[in-house]
Amino acid sequence: MKIKPIYWIILILVLALGISIVDGLRIRDKYSISIGNYQAALVSSKKDGAALTLQIAKANEIVGQQNTIIAERDRAIGHLTNTIGQKDAELVTLDGRLVQAKTDTEKVPILTAMVENWRAQYNTATLIIAEKDKAISAWAVKYAAQVVISESWKQRYNSELHLRTLAEKGWKASENKLRWTRVMSNIKSGLIVGALGYIGYSALKGK
């Protein structure tokens, strides 16, 4: 028994429809997975981003505080350094007076003043060292805060890069889905038109 062409067309149409459904489901699954991964990463990124923003803000606050401390210590060191400069000038004067002194009665008060001057300079130098230690400590805290800021921005960049990668995968999946849908739509349309044409032709031929 010879199979009529219309049956072949119907059979091809059914097979094409079946293939379309199977492949459509496969592509839809890939698309859904890609979109699901992106949406999950987006939620996580927003949560982590908020925490990183707060972390950066706190670190910037610490940097600002340490900058204030460093500036204060620098001013104190400058003032103390000027004090030592004044004491050095006083020593030069005392040294000149000592050279001109003739008797021990004249020299003793000058020497006493010089000793007091040196003691004052020593104490001032000790204060300068203490201020520098405070400044160094502030610099260390500031550096640690800046490391936190740098690492936080790096994490935000990596998170955004990951999101972009997932978005590109989702876009490619949706593009493939759309392309396949168009191809199968054209095939089905062609088969349907062919079947309808054949049916119409057969009907006219039978009259």
Confidence of residue 8 (pLDDT cuts 50, 70, 90): low
Residue corresponding to tokens 């004044």: 86
Q: What is the pLDDT of residues 93-132, one digit of tens each?
A: 988 998 888 888 889 999 999 999 999 999 999 999 999 9
pLDDT at 44 over 80: no
Spell out the CATH class of 5-200.
mainly alpha
C-beta of residue 145 within 8 angstroms of C-beta of residue 101: no
How big is the chain, counted in residues?
207
Considering only residues 55 and 188, tell me which one the structure prediction assigns the higher pLDDT. 55
- Closest Cα to residue 142, out of 197, 78, 199, 62? 62
- Residue-range domain boundaries for the chain: 5-200
| pTM for the model | 0.60
- What residues have CB less than 8 Å from 187, skipping those under 6 apart? 16, 20
User: For position 118, what pLDDT does the model report?
Assistant: 93
| Amino acid (1-letter code) at residue 203 | A
Q: What is the pLDDT of residues 58-87, one digit of tens each?
A: 989 999 999 999 999 999 999 999 999 999
